[in-house]
Structure 1
Amino acid sequence: MTFLQQSMLWGLLAASIPIIIHLLNRRRHKTVMWAAMQFLLKATRESRGKKKLRHILILTCRALGVAALVTAAARPLVSGLLGWGGGKPDLVVLILDRSASMEATPHSGTVPRRELALERIRDALADLGGTRLVLLDSASGQPQEVPSPDVLNQISTTTATDTTADFSTLASRAAEYLIETPGRAEVWIASDLQKSNWKPDNDRWTSVRAALASLPQPPKLRILSLGGEPSPNQAIRILSSRRAGNELVLDIEITRSEDSTAPLNLPLSSTMNGVRNMTNVTLAGQNFRFRKSLPIPPNQESGYGWLSIPGDGNLRDNAAFFAYGPSRPVKSLLVAPPGEATEYLSIAIAPGGHGGQSVERKDPAQLSRLELEDVAAVFWAAPLPTGQLSESLNRFLVDGGELVFFAPQGESNAEFLGIKWSAITTSEAGKFFILDSWDHEDGLLRDGLDGTPIPADRFKALKRRLPEGEAAVLARWDDGKTFITRRVVDRGTAWFVGSQPDYTWSNLGDADVLLPVVQRAIAEGAERFDAGYLANIGSRAAAPRPGESRTRLDDYGAPVPANEAFEAGIHRFGERTMALNRPAAEDDPEIMTREMLNNTLEGTGFSLFEDSRTTVSASSGPSDIWRGFLVAMLCFLISEALLCLPKRSSQATAEPGTRNPPVKA
């Protein structure tokens, strides 16, 4: 509850007047004990408790009647967002979530959560005349003075976007703004509480809490969560895009919100260079990954397009965009001495039927420098590099290359990225080292897009070397020792595999394991060349370079010119063409719990309003309830009057015409 005439609340002190009068009246009478009175006191002792309770009720009704009158004069307003405390603020800083997930419509609703939030906030501010409103939206991150709440849904900085949100940064900017803005302020956050946007484990929240607490007048923090459960929704995403000769190969993921395994037939539209085609895909669960190849028309070295699914509970995740450039060969480098392992690796890197793939082998004994500008992946079956070679490989990783180390034959104490090889160990006679566990969803041994696993359970070894050092473990031997580890360096990845494709070591040379491992590393490394065509909205790559202008090329949806920097689509920056998509975090369904909020905003005294209404209505704003307090005052005064009525005697209640019976002596 908030009050338009907050100064009138000082009148609540008048509620103590009946109590003061009662106490003064008690001091006027002096008690004198005399003998005959003892009999009367004894006769009325049994009813004394009831009389005392009656007097307390009369006094309470008088005090509450005065308090209700004063409260009505203060013009109270009640609304879930405004809460039940505090007066009218001088300033409201509104942090508005404009991320793609805010375009989800609540279950059984038709209005996106973002629009619901704007309506609730506009109605909550409607009667707070004189309160300044400053908007801090999640897309631009810049404070903006809003002249009136009525224009909230008309300005470009409140429209839909395909961006993500970072609430720790936004809250920090709100605190910075309030440092130079005196007066009583409140911070309102309108959000769907998506965990990926709040990042509750981010250390920045510690400084945010400290900044808010250090303000001369710490603001009230109010959080508005809207809509309840979302409507059923499907989302499409392009995981990777690469050109292979005259085809564009797309790795695609479609997810759906319902927790169901019932098959769902979904039409998929692909538009490429203005030509549209329709196919159907069937989702058997909540997540479906598949690969789609689109033929590139002759004499078209570059182009763009998008994939789309029908509209549903969120219109911002129904399309994914792609672009491509001229075809280029995929080159890999193999650093290994002559031998059986080198032969198997050469075949796996550039097998027959994989046009455009080539491998260059270099003997580590004759290697002095590396030229890696046009290389997608490096396979290293030799002692770990040092000196200038190590520096070159570090730069290669930073640029997005893939680097795979296989356990070398020779001994060496060299380290790379803090990882070194253990000594060679040999299995007991008649036994093997067996691969026991590996990550089926991530890494070089992950399952295929259709869910088919790599037959890594067939892999066994006579010899092994363990990668030692701090790194993510992706596969282990049956005794728990490490087989594959991974170190991510900027855009690239370094892999350490604890065996080699030599049959005196293991059966890794079998194509059913080695081929997918090598080809996945090459495909991921080749993405650094195709990455120039793909980026996420809000990332550094999605912004024009100095001297470049932005032009939107596609006509999907209803582009807003003033909002194009925050919308997914095909954008041209000077001579560059980029396909910009929403960040992957926006498809994460996990929501902040009350416990997470309590830990994240500990000490801020925040209030959470969860509005499950799914429609916009004129009655959703603050209610002026002073009339209710006047009615309450009348009820208290009438109750007080009834309690003050004298009790009728037993003679007065007797029936008319009757006489008391005579008393016999």
Structure 2
Amino acid sequence: MFFLQSAMLWGLFAVSIPIIIHLLNRRRHRTVQWAAMQFLLKATRESRGKKRLRHILILTCRALGIAALIFAAAVPVVSKFFGLGSGKPDLIVLIFDRSASMEANPKNGTIPRRELSLQRLRDAFADLEGTRLVLIDSASGIPQDVPSPDVLAELSATAVTDTKADLPGLLSTAAEFLAETPGRAEIWVASDLQSTNWSANDSRWDSVRASLTSLQQQPRVRVLALGGENADNQTIQILSSRRSGTNLLLDLRIARGGDARSPLNLPVTININGARTTESVTIPGQEMRFIKTIPLPSPDDHGHGWVSIPGDGNPRDNVAFYAYGPARPVKSSVVAAGEAASYLDLAAAPDGFGGQSADTIQGAAAASLVTADQSAILWAEPLPSGPIAAELERFLSEGGQVIFFPPSADSDNSFLDISWSAVGVAERDQFFILDSWDHDDGLLRDGIDGTPVPADRLRAVKRRIPEGEASVLARWDDTQAFLVRRVVGRGTAWFIGSLPDYTWSNLGDADVLLPAVQRAVLAGAERFDSGYLATVGSSVAEVKADEIRERLDDYGSDAKAEPEYLAGIQKLGERTLAINRPASEDIPDVIERSALTGLMEGTDFSLFEDTSSSGRENVSRGIWRGFLIAMLFFLLSEALLCLPGKPVATHTSPRPPVQHAR
């Protein structure tokens, strides 16, 4: 509670007036001892305590009535957001979440959470005349003074974006700002509590709490969460795009919210260079992933477009953008010898896979390997060392893929701190059998349609175990690792524990080797096409010193929004990029209240959840009428106490009857 006319509180000194009058009246009467009066005093001594209590109550009611009148004149305000007992701060640092998820409508509502937040904040700030307001928006993360709360909704720093929010980083920025700004301050956070933006497992939370609690005057932290449940919403993403001859292959993912027990028919619009087509897609469950092939006019042209679904609970996640350049062949290199080299060559460039080629390199010639135009490298020799090892690490960091198979000859070499064990040989008439593998990730994952790779058909009589720190994605039946992964930059190094040689295993069959190798080859080829894809807020999407930003698509945007924070097809100098929102913004999960309380443990923290879906409700209200009612109550009580009591009946001895003479 705080007061809009705090100067009126000086009138509280008037509360002392009834007390002063009472004391002066007591001094007006002199006490004179009179013997006959002692009998009367003795008669009334028993009721003196009750009279004194009534006089005290009368005096108290008079004082409280005057105090209630003064409080009403000072116009007190209680805010549901501020809470009871709060005073007016000197400074408010507003952390405003304007990530893409904030454009979602609450259930049964038509106003996005971002706009709802602005309306609630505007009402709250209207009661804080004279308080300095500093805004830190989630897109720029830069503190800036706001001259008036009335213009908050008109600022570009509160407009729509396609970015994500980094709440630990924003709170750290607020703490750094307050460390240099004296005064009684509060931190307000307007957010939808999306779990990916709060990053509960981020190690920075320890330093955030330490920064806030170590301030000379610890600020209150108030979190405003609006809207309750989300309205029904569907999202679309382009996971990757790849040019294949005169076709563009888009890896699409469509997810749906709400009840997914029945199939959903959804029209999908595809725009390519201004031409649009629409087709219906049936989503059988919670989500669906599929490859969309788009025919292109020429193998040498450039172009761009977008894929969209109809508007729903959040318009920011209904479109995904793509761009492409001239077709280029998919090249791979095979570093192997003997039978293994033949099978690996066939797997890297199978018959009928147009545009794919593979070169086989043996022995010492591997030192001259050129990786600049390669998609993947299949290596079945002793692990590389020296200059070629450095070249492969650079290749991996740029998005290339390397699959290492065990060499026939023993070697002590290691690569990325991973080495091969000695050759293990199965017992007579026994095999090493692949027992378990990751069906959702890695080279042996299930197909887009859910069809599993028949990895259980693999039989091996010889193997080497990849040893070192790596993620295991498949194991033999004795729990030893068969397939492990090490991520290096944008690329991946894979280690497979047997050779495609029939003296080792039946890995040369197409059941396992072909899908595994092709997935690595296509993932490596995406490093060329990925040059056309970027994420809003990433370093790739930033304008360089000699570049000018220009938007090319016609999907539409908010006039107030800054273009660097929006998704779309943008031309940055000579570069053409399809810039999309971060995939994390499509995850609807919110942080648990207990987890949020744990993150803010030790700070003066409070959470205000407003489940209203409209902008009509105010977050603060005046309570001066309540003080006027209290004043009337005290004055009426004083009047009742001043009423004279009932007369006390006196009892006398009956007179004897008068005898009349006859």
> TM-score, structure 2 length as denominator?
0.89
Pairing 1:332-351 to 2, within 5 Å after superposition: 332-339=332-339, 341-351=340-350
Which residue identity does 2:620 align to in structure 1?
A: P
Inter-CA distance 461–645: structure 2 relative to 1 (3 Å threshold): farther
The CA RMSD measured in Å over matched residues stands at 3.5
Measured after TM superposition, the shift of residue 640 of structure 1 is: 5.7
Q: Mean alpha-carbon deviation: is it higher for 216-225 or for 270-279?
A: 216-225
Measured after TM superposition, the shift of residue 446 of structure 1 is: 1.1
Pairing 1:283-294 to 2, within 5 Å after superposition: 283-294=283-294
Which residue identity does 2:315 align to in structure 1?
A: L
Inter-CA distance 342–77: structure 2 relative to 1 (3 Å threshold): same
User: Paired residue for 1:546?
Assistant: 545
Q: For residues 637-659 of structure 1, what are the alpha-carbon distances to aligned partners after superposition, in whole Å with 9 as ceiling and x for unaligned?
A: 4346546767758979xxxxxx9
> TM-score, structure 1 length as denominator?
0.89
Measured after TM superposition, the shift of residue 537 of structure 1 is: 0.5
Residue 256 in 1 paired to residue 272 in 2? no
Inter-CA distance 17–290: structure 2 relative to 1 (3 Å threshold): farther
User: Paired residue for 1:634?
Assistant: 632
Which residue identity does 1:376 align to in structure 2?
A: S
Pairing 1:403-414 to 2, within 5 Å after superposition: 403-414=402-413
Separation in structure 2 between the aligned mates of residue 380 and residue 537 of structure 1, nearest angstrom = 36
Q: For residues 499-540 of structure 1, what are the alpha-carbon distances to aligned partners after superposition, in whole Å with 9 as ceiling and x for unaligned?
A: 222223222222122111111101111111111100000000
Pairing 1:550-569 to 2, within 5 Å after superposition: 550-560=549-559, 563-569=562-568
User: Would the aligned equivalents of 1:369 and 1:388 in 2 still touch at CA under 8 Å?
Assistant: no
Measured after TM superposition, the shift of residue 213 of structure 1 is: 2.6
User: Would the aligned equivalents of 1:90 and 1:183 in 2 still touch at CA under 8 Å?
Assistant: yes
Q: For residues 406-443 of structure 1, what are the alpha-carbon distances to aligned partners after superposition, in whole Å with 9 as ceiling and x for unaligned?
A: 12222222211111112222233333322222222111
User: Paired residue for 1:620?
Assistant: 618
Which residue identity does 2:496 align to in structure 1?
A: V
Which residue identity does 1:358 align to in structure 2?
A: S
Instruction: Find the residue that maps to 1:120 and give its secondary structure.
Output: helix
Which residue identity does 1:525 align to in structure 2?
A: G
Separation in structure 1 between the aligned mates of residue 16 and residue 470 of structure 2, nearest angstrom = 71
Sequence identity of aligned pairs in percent? Answer: 60
User: Paired residue for 1:26?
Assistant: none
Inter-CA distance 561–97: structure 2 relative to 1 (3 Å threshold): closer
Inter-CA distance 113–54: structure 2 relative to 1 (3 Å threshold): farther
Instruction: Find the residue that maps to 2:367 and give its secondary structure.
Output: coil
User: Paired residue for 1:519?
Assistant: 518
Instruction: Find the residue that maps to 2:342 and give its secondary structure.
Output: helix
- Where in structure 1 are there 5+ consecutive unaligned residues? 23-36, 653-658
Residue 610 in 1 paired to residue 609 in 2? yes
User: Paired residue for 1:590?
Assistant: 589
User: Would the aligned equivalents of 1:330 and 1:376 in 2 still touch at CA under 8 Å?
Assistant: yes
User: Would the aligned equivalents of 2:300 and 2:327 in 1 still touch at CA under 8 Å?
Assistant: no
Residue 501 in 1 paired to residue 489 in 2? no
Which residue identity does 1:289 align to in structure 2?
A: R
User: Would the aligned equivalents of 1:236 and 1:308 in 2 still touch at CA under 8 Å?
Assistant: yes
User: Would the aligned equivalents of 2:234 and 2:256 in 1 still touch at CA under 8 Å?
Assistant: yes
Separation in structure 1 between the aligned mates of residue 546 and residue 629 of structure 2, nearest angstrom = 69
Separation in structure 1 between the aligned mates of residue 176 and residue 97 of structure 2, nearest angstrom = 19
Q: Mean alpha-carbon deviation: is it higher for 136-145 or for 272-281?
A: 136-145
Which residue identity does 1:498 align to in structure 2?
A: G
User: Would the aligned equivalents of 2:299 and 2:326 in 1 still touch at CA under 8 Å?
Assistant: no
Pairing 1:443-482 to 2, within 5 Å after superposition: 443-482=442-481
User: Paired residue for 2:29?
Assistant: none
User: Would the aligned equivalents of 1:4 and 1:88 in 2 still touch at CA under 8 Å?
Assistant: no
Inter-CA distance 295–224: structure 2 relative to 1 (3 Å threshold): same
Which residue identity does 2:627 align to in structure 1?
A: F
Inter-CA distance 56–257: structure 2 relative to 1 (3 Å threshold): farther
Number of residues of Structure 1 aligned to a counterpart in Structure 2: 647
Which residue identity does 1:353 align to in structure 2?
A: G
User: Paired residue for 1:209?
Assistant: 209
Which residue identity does 2:612 align to in structure 1?
A: R
Which residue identity does 2:470 align to in structure 1?
A: A
Measured after TM superposition, the shift of residue 598 of structure 1 is: 1.6
User: Paired residue for 1:580?
Assistant: 579
Measured after TM superposition, the shift of residue 146 of structure 1 is: 1.7
Separation in structure 1 between the aligned mates of residue 440 and residue 452 of structure 2, nearest angstrom = 10
Measured after TM superposition, the shift of residue 231 of structure 1 is: 0.3
Separation in structure 2 between the aligned mates of residue 105 and residue 541 of structure 1, nearest angstrom = 31
Inter-CA distance 425–300: structure 2 relative to 1 (3 Å threshold): closer
The structure having more radius of gyration, on CA atoms, is 2
Inter-CA distance 639–465: structure 2 relative to 1 (3 Å threshold): farther
Instruction: Find the residue that maps to 2:453 and give its secondary structure.
Output: coil
User: Would the aligned equivalents of 2:160 and 2:561 in 1 still touch at CA under 8 Å?
Assistant: no
Inter-CA distance 20–577: structure 2 relative to 1 (3 Å threshold): same
Separation in structure 2 between the aligned mates of residue 57 and residue 333 of structure 1, nearest angstrom = 99
Pairing 1:195-344 to 2, within 5 Å after superposition: 195-298=195-298, 301-339=301-339, 341-344=340-343
Measured after TM superposition, the shift of residue 137 of structure 1 is: 0.9
Inter-CA distance 209–480: structure 2 relative to 1 (3 Å threshold): same
User: Paired residue for 2:387?
Assistant: 388
Which residue identity does 1:184 align to in structure 2?
A: R
Residue 130 in 1 paired to residue 130 in 2? yes
Measured after TM superposition, the shift of residue 20 of structure 1 is: 13
Separation in structure 2 between the aligned mates of residue 573 and residue 416 of structure 1, nearest angstrom = 38
Instruction: Find the residue that maps to 2:225 and give its secondary structure.
Output: strand
Inter-CA distance 543–182: structure 2 relative to 1 (3 Å threshold): same
Which residue identity does 1:627 align to in structure 2?
A: R
Q: Mean alpha-carbon deviation: is it higher for 80-89 or for 392-401?
A: 80-89
Q: Mean alpha-carbon deviation: is it higher for 412-421 or for 325-334?
A: 412-421
Inter-CA distance 387–501: structure 2 relative to 1 (3 Å threshold): same
User: Would the aligned equivalents of 1:483 and 1:498 in 2 still touch at CA under 8 Å?
Assistant: yes
- Where in structure 2 are there 5+ consecutive unaligned residues? 23-40, 656-662
Instruction: Find the residue that maps to 1:122 and give its secondary structure.
Output: helix
Which residue identity does 1:174 align to in structure 2?
A: A
Separation in structure 2 between the aligned mates of residue 11 and residue 135 of structure 1, nearest angstrom = 36
Q: Mean alpha-carbon deviation: is it higher for 117-126 or for 401-410?
A: 401-410
Separation in structure 2 between the aligned mates of residue 17 and residue 360 of structure 1, nearest angstrom = 103
User: Would the aligned equivalents of 2:246 and 2:299 in 1 still touch at CA under 8 Å?
Assistant: no
Measured after TM superposition, the shift of residue 546 of structure 1 is: 2.3
Which residue identity does 2:631 align to in structure 1?
A: M
Measured after TM superposition, the shift of residue 476 of structure 1 is: 1.9
Measured after TM superposition, the shift of residue 207 of structure 1 is: 2.3
Measured after TM superposition, the shift of residue 63 of structure 1 is: 7.6
Measured after TM superposition, the shift of residue 627 of structure 1 is: 1.7
Which residue identity does 1:634 align to in structure 2?
A: L
Inter-CA distance 17–596: structure 2 relative to 1 (3 Å threshold): farther
Pairing 1:10-21 to 2, within 5 Å after superposition: none
Separation in structure 1 between the aligned mates of residue 606 and residue 627 of structure 2, nearest angstrom = 25
Measured after TM superposition, the shift of residue 493 of structure 1 is: 0.8
Separation in structure 2 between the aligned mates of residue 281 and residue 305 of structure 1, nearest angstrom = 19
Inter-CA distance 55–457: structure 2 relative to 1 (3 Å threshold): farther
Which residue identity does 1:332 align to in structure 2?
A: S
Residue 90 in 1 paired to residue 90 in 2? yes
